[in-house]
Amino acid sequence: MKNKSYFLSEYSDNTLEVSWTAIEHNLNFFKSKLAPSTKVMLMVKAAAYGHYTSIICKKIEAKKMADFLGVASIAEGIELRVEGIELPVMVQNVNPKHWDVMIEYCLEPVINSFEILHSFLGFLKSKESLASGQYPIHIKLNTGMNRLGFNQKDVDELVNRLVNQSSIRVSSIMSHLSSSGNFSAEEFTLRQIREFESMNVKLKSSLGINPISHILNTDGINNFLKYQMDMVRLGIGLYGASEANDLKNELQPVARLTSKVVAIRRVLKGESISYNRSGFVSQDSNIAILSLGYADGLPRRLGNGNWQVEINGQLYPTIGNICMDLCMLNLEQDEVSVGEEVIVFGGKKTIFDFANAQDTITYEALTNIGNRMKRKLI
């Protein structure tokens, strides 16, 4: 069944175009760096970083371009299953209240604390059909991100908890690099990797297992390739929006955001525009109105001339405050027609410009694009 919010977005004037050619290029670029045996997990959390998960994942699965998919929540994993995706799906943040649903949809939990481990083992034990089913799990180790995961001092206890457990199978052991794109933190990153290797070896040898090991993210692949281990996790790089300067020259941005002119208004010199009389024209001017606002991912801080959009190759600034559902452009004396396409980013203005104008990163700018935005794979 089609996700209702995305189905309704088909009636929107606003479109996030998603380039399959760019996705394929970016994925092949990273794969070309890896050893043939290295597996790839594609991170598709937060609607594939705002791009719309299922339309991308269906093609990735059909073309056998990934070994795992990674999501942040059980709900995101369920969306993939409902759309018919069969690839293994790792869920980063699990809620013990929903173990039954997670198992129903064959989702693989990341175990990052003793509390989560105890809860999951207890649940499996309570289900006779699962008690010896070797359900796949992923063990997360904390090596310096200090967010989630088992610490070095926890390894012995973790071994004790996992040994002789017939209800689970450790599919992978992982950690997360905090600063792999920051060259000033190179020694810290290497220390994270060394600590992971130490903890990982101890777990494997003590338990007599050989699961997949992975620690590299997009920047990690780019800067610490020799530590690719058994698998890498590719996130922002897949979408061509990595902030790394050298990658900007290699990757192709995947997203292009467009809108439509829904009205033109002639505003006389000295008159005000938008809420709180936030915009004024210094001469009689043509004002274009777009049905695009902060509820769609165009933040208020980009009003009052802080962003320019492209119409017929020309850039026009916003004027007045961005509204929830609308924004206004100052055309001055230029004339455009109702229905004209407007490129918000992905033309003369890039996703990097869009994020910089908001004083944020591309991750946030992309994931802020709302559900009522139409997504279209091109």
List Cα–Cα distances, 181 to 5, 57, 373, 376, in angstroms: 35, 26, 31, 31
Q: Which residue has the tokens 């290295």?
A: 38
- What is residue 1's predicted lDDT score, i.e. its pLDDT? 43
Residue-wise pLDDT tens digits, 210-268:
999 999 999 999 999 999 999 999 999 999 999 999 999 999 999 999 999 999 999 99
* Residues designated as active site: 45, 275
Please tell me the pTM assigned to this model.
0.93
- What is residue 315's predicted lDDT score, i.e. its pLDDT? 98
- What is residue 54's predicted lDDT score, i.e. its pLDDT? 84
Q: How far apart are the first and last CA of the chain?
A: 22
Q: Which residue has the tokens 């040994």?
A: 163
In angstroms, the CA 152 to CA 141 distance is 8
Structure tokens at 79: 């969306």
**What domains can you pick out in the chain, each with its CATH number?**
20-242 (3.20.20.10), 255-377 (2.40.37.10)
Q: Name the H helices within 209-361.
A: 218-223, 245-248, 351-357
Q: Residue 161: enclosing H or E segment and its boundaries?
A: helix 155-162
149 close to 142: Cβ distance less than 8 angstroms: yes
Strand spans (E) along the chain: 15-18, 39-43, 68-71, 89-91, 108-111, 135-140, 168-174, 212-214, 231-234, 255-267, 272-273, 279-280, 285-290, 308-311, 314-317, 327-332, 341-345, 374-377
- What is residue 307's predicted lDDT score, i.e. its pLDDT? 98
State which residues of the chain have pLDDT below 50.
Answer: 1-2, 4-7
